[in-house]
Amino acid sequence: MESLKIHAYMNQYPVTFTENMSVEEAALRFLKTKQLGGPVIDKNYKVVGFISEADVLKKMLETLYFNEHVANIKDIMHKEVLSVKPYDSIIGLGQTMIKNKPKLYPVIDDDGNLLGTISRNEVLQACYKYAKTRTLIEKSHAAV
């Protein structure tokens, strides 16, 4: 089961954000893609932060309430990013996701460059496919 690696199930075309993107633009990106969060990257695709739909909603509500200008992503992003490597175990990540809040993790290489993202749904999909395959193998062995 440890052979299930993140690279086989990650989203290789993730929704990304930049530090100078306005909160309004990020809100529109969330609305169009229905993502719950995403990595903030620099021009070299290095992950510099993470922004969630909840972070953007909170800032949008403050803006409506106080009638102020909305900030940029760099003002509200999380600078300490929980991330995973493509060679990490799906099972290990699943266990981490049960204990921790993030539903989506950036997948980065050893230099911190973004390779993709992996969500809780993709981890569940990997586990389901593994269980289904294992059941089929067990049934075929039982028939022999």
Confidence (pLDDT) at 137: 62
**Residue 101 has what pLDDT?**
77
Q: Torsion-angle region of residue 69: left (phi > 0), alpha (psi -120 to 50) or beta?
A: beta
Tell me the per-residue pLDDT of 51-97, one tens digit each, with 9 for 90 and over: 999 999 999 888 877 777 678 999 999 999 999 999 999 999 999 99
C-alpha separations of 34 from 9, 94, 106 in Å: 19, 22, 17
CATH no. for residue 104? 3.10.580.10
Residue 93's domain comprises 6-143
Domain count, the chain: 1
Domain contains 108: yes
Nearest to 24 by CA among 78, 62, 50: 62
Q: What is the DSSP letter of 71?
A: -
Radius of gyration of the chain (CA): 18
Residue 1 lies in a domain: no
